[in-house]
Structures are given as C-alpha cells and as structure tokens.
Amino acid sequence: MKIAGHTMGTPSRTPGEAIELFARVGIQGIELIMQDDYKSAIPTTVAAASLREIRKWAGGLGVEIAFLTPYITALNSLDEATYRAQLDLLRRAVEVAAELGAPGLRVYGGKEVPEADWQPHFDRLVAGLRIGGETGRQAGVKLAVENHQTTMTVSAKATMEVVRAVNLPNVGVLYDQANLSHMQQEDFAEALGLQRGQIVHAHVKDFVKKAGRDRSAGGGVAFMPAEGRSIITAVPGEGIMPWRQILPALRATGYDGWLSLELEKRWYPDELPSEEEAFRRSAAFLKGLLS
C-alpha cells in the first residue's frame, strides 16, 4: 500500500503547491479535489493542457496522481434537470481523471432520503452510476462509492447494496472507516468483511469524541458544521481510530492500493496543526505501520 495526501488538507495551497508539500514530507501520491472556487482544487472547466502540466509537475517530483474527488452530491435526484447536470459532471470528472492519469474517482452515494422514498432514489442512483461506470470503463477509470454520512451509502452494508446493484467491474467502494465509526455504523472487521474484494480506494483520518455528545447531526452531503458534530478531527494515530489493527485487516482482504490522508483542514481548520505539520506527522505514522 502507498500513501497519498488529499487536497482537503491543503486549503491554503494550489494543487501545484500541495504536490510540492507532499513530495517534501515523503508522500507518494496526491488525491486532487475537482471543484470550482476552492484554491486547492482542479476547476471543472480546466483545460487539457493544464491537466497535462499538473501531471508532469507531479511526476517530476515523484508524486503520482492517486485519485480524483469531484463533488457529485445529488446523483440520486428525481428532478430531471438536476440529475442530467450531475451526470454531465460525472462524465467530466472521468475525462479529467483520464487526462491526469488518475486510476479512479470518488462518487457520493446521493443524498440521504427518508425510508419511504428510498426505492426510487436508489434506482436513480444505480442508473447514474451505471452510466458513469460505462463512461469510466471506456476511459480506464474506476468509480468508488464512498462510505459517507448523509448519503444513501452511510454504512458498508448500504454501500455494497448500491455497488452490487450497479454490477460493473470498475464500480466499487471507497472505504472510509473513520466515517463509518463516526456515524456509529460497522466496526472495521464487519465493514471489511462486507466490502471485501470491492475496495477501490481508502481514506485515512482520525478523531476524538466530544464530551457529552453521542451523535452528530445536520449538514449536507459534503460538509457537516463543527457545532453539529460529536467529534473533533485529529491527526491519524493521535485519535481513537485503531489504525494499527485496521491496516493489517485491510491488507488481508487483498487490498494493495492507496491510503489517502483525508485531513479535513478545509472544513475544520482550528482542529488540526499547520498543513505541513499535520501531513508530516500523519505520513510518519502510516510509514511506521507499513514498515
């Protein structure tokens, strides 16, 4: 397994500057956000020549483009205009990933909906992922559906229900045990058992619990306000996540891909040390576990 840095953790830097940071602290890859109006992201309208320059710059510093993270938050929408716009964004993300040489990209499991409305939104999500998956297959790009709060894939079980329904070889799981643990879903042994053989990419982060808060609530798909959370973000290895047990169990499933340090500095800047210090400590922790 190899270590990547996620540009969620570098809000003060351009993608090029984030690549320089990761190279400096010995991180082998970069997970790039694709979104407009965020400094450390690839804009959705970026020209192909700029993507080739980023890829070349990263390669020159010994950093691989590990993954792409677009913000496709409503692929399960029943509103036709919204759904079509989300499909267009997904197709665009596949193009960008292919140009960058990224092996895959993150997709949210749509917006969480009430149980009574579940089936039509589930069907729409599956249909959208099939279309995106076929586009990705032709471009050599995988799609990874993330275990994520306030989506239809908040648990490992729910994520696998979606992935099985899509039934394409290049559509799998983005395993995020911190998200599962934060939302009080499966522990790592159960989550890995359920998702075994389907994990395309993995996020690594950590947290500590807030005193007197049992559950988090509020927020949209991409962002949960700090006041609604029952946790505080921590540097991996300095919180409560049992990464010393998770990584060997993950490896035992046959996974040998990227471990992407998704430090949430963008959303919770005061909960982590400086960008450089946070990534340096995080990388040192993971290297110690992988050695």
Q: What is the pLDDT of residues 43-81, one digit of tens each?
A: 999 999 999 999 999 999 999 999 999 999 999 999 999
How many domains, the chain?
Answer: 1
Tell me if 40 is assigned to some domain.
Answer: yes
Tell me if 217 is assigned to some domain.
Answer: no
Q: Tell me the β-bridge partners of 67.
A: 31
Q: What is the pLDDT of residues 166-209, one digit of tens each?
A: 999 999 999 999 999 999 999 999 999 999 999 999 999 999 99
Tell me if 183 is assigned to some domain.
Answer: yes
Show the 3-state SS of 23-85.
HHCCCCEEEEEECCCCCCEECCCCCHHHHHHHHHHHHHCCCEEEEEEECCCCCCCCCHHHHHH
Tell me if 93 is assigned to some domain.
Answer: yes
pLDDT surpassing 90 at residue 272: yes
Range name among 32-46, 123-137, 221-235 with the lowest pLDDT average: 221-235
Domain limits for position 78: 2-206+241-290
Tell me if 236 is assigned to some domain.
Answer: no
pLDDT surpassing 90 at residue 227: no
pLDDT surpassing 90 at residue 229: yes
Tell me if 221 is assigned to some domain.
Answer: no
Tell me if 144 is assigned to some domain.
Answer: yes
Q: CA 156 → CA 60, 63, 74, 103, 192, distances in Å?
A: 37, 30, 19, 22, 8
Tell me if 128 is assigned to some domain.
Answer: yes
CATH number at residue 158: 3.20.20.150
